Amino acid sequence: MNKLKLIIKREFLAKVKNKSFIVMTVLSPLLMVGLMMLIIFLNEKNSEDVRTVAFVDESNLLASTFTDTETTKYIDLTALGIDEARMQTEGQYYGILYIPKSDSLVNLSKGIAFYSEDTPSLNLLGSIENKLEKKIRNLKIEQLHFDVDKIKATETTVEIATENFVGEKSSKIGSVLRMIAGGGFGYLIFMFIIIYGTSVMRSVIEEKTSRIIEVIISSVKPFQLMMGKILGNALAGVLQFIIWMISAGLLLFAITYIFGIDTAGSGTAMGQMNPEMVQQVQASSASELQLALQEIKNLPILTMFFSFIIYFIGGYLIYSSIYAAIGAAVDSETDTQQFMMPVLMPLIIAIYVGFSVIENPHGPIALAFSLFPLTSPIVMLMRIPFGVPWWQIVTSMFLLIITFIAIVWFAAKIYRVGILMYGKKPTYKELYKWLKY
Using CA atoms, how far apart are residues 437 and 416, in angstroms rounded to an integer? Answer: 10
DSSP string, 13-55: HHHHTSHHHHHHHHHHHHHHHHHHHHHHHHHHHHHHPPEEEEE
> Is there binding between residue 202 and other proteins (CB under 8 A)?
no
Q: Which stretch in 20-28, 35-43, 214-222, 312-320 sits in contact with other proteins by CB under 8 A?
A: 214-222
Q: Which of 146, 257, 422, 428 is close enough to bind other proteins by CB under 8 A?
A: 422
Determine which helix (DSSP H) or strand (DSSP E) holds 204, and give its type and residue range.
Answer: helix 172-209
Q: Is residue 424 at the binding interface for other proteins, with CB under 8 A as the rule?
A: no
Whole-number minimum distance, CB 18 to other proteins, in Å?
8
Q: Give residue 216's identity as a one-letter amino acid code.
A: I
Q: Is 10 one of the binding residues for other proteins (CB under 8 A)?
A: yes
| Residue 432 in contact with other proteins, rule: CB under 8 A | no
How far is residue 6's CA from residue 16's CA, in Å, rounded to a whole number? Answer: 15
3-state SS class at 218: coil
Binds other proteins by CB under 8 A, chosen from 219, 263, 294, 332: 219
**Does residue 145 come out as left (phi exceeding 0), alpha (psi in the -120 to 50 range) or beta?**
left
Q: Which residues are within 8 A (CB) of 236 and not within 5 positions of it... i.e. 6 or more apart?
A: 11, 12, 15, 16, 21, 196, 199
**Kind of pairing between the strands at 113-116 and 95-99:** antiparallel
Contact string (CB under 8 A) for other proteins, positions 49-88, x = contact: ----------------------------------------
Question: Minimum Å distance from CB 212 to other proteins?
Answer: 5
**Choice between 226 and 374, CB closer to other proteins:** 226
Closest contact distance (angstroms) between CB of 242 and other proteins is: 25
Residue 98 · residue 115 · CB < 8 Å? yes
Site for other proteins in 391-420 (CB under 8 A): 420
Question: SS3 of 75, please?
Answer: strand
Question: Which position among 211, 256, 334, 337 is part of the footprint of other proteins (CB under 8 A)?
Answer: 211
Closer residue to other proteins, CB minimum distance, 29 or 418: 418
**Hey, which residues does 97 pair with through a beta bridge?**
55, 114
Binding of other proteins by 429 (CB under 8 A): no
> How far does CA 310 lie from the centroid of its chain?
22
User: Bridge partners of 75?
Assistant: 54
Contacting other proteins (CB under 8 A), which of 23, 42, 176, 212?
212
Report the residue number, 199 or 247, with the smaller CB distance to other proteins: 199
The answer to whether 348 contacts other proteins (rule: CB under 8 A) is: no
C-beta of 216: minimal distance to other proteins in Å? Answer: 7
Stretch near other proteins under the rule CB under 8 A, chosen from 23-31, 61-69, 215-223, 373-381: 215-223
Binding residue (CB under 8 A) for other proteins from 221, 287, 290, 362: 221
**Strand partners for 54:** 75, 96
Q: How far apart are CA 246 and CA 356, in angstroms?
A: 30
Give yes or no for residue 20 binding other proteins (CB under 8 A).
no
194 near other proteins, rule: CB under 8 A: no
In the complex, the residues that contact other proteins under the rule CB under 8 A are 3, 6-7, 10, 14, 206-207, 210-212, 214-222, 420, 422, 433, 436-437
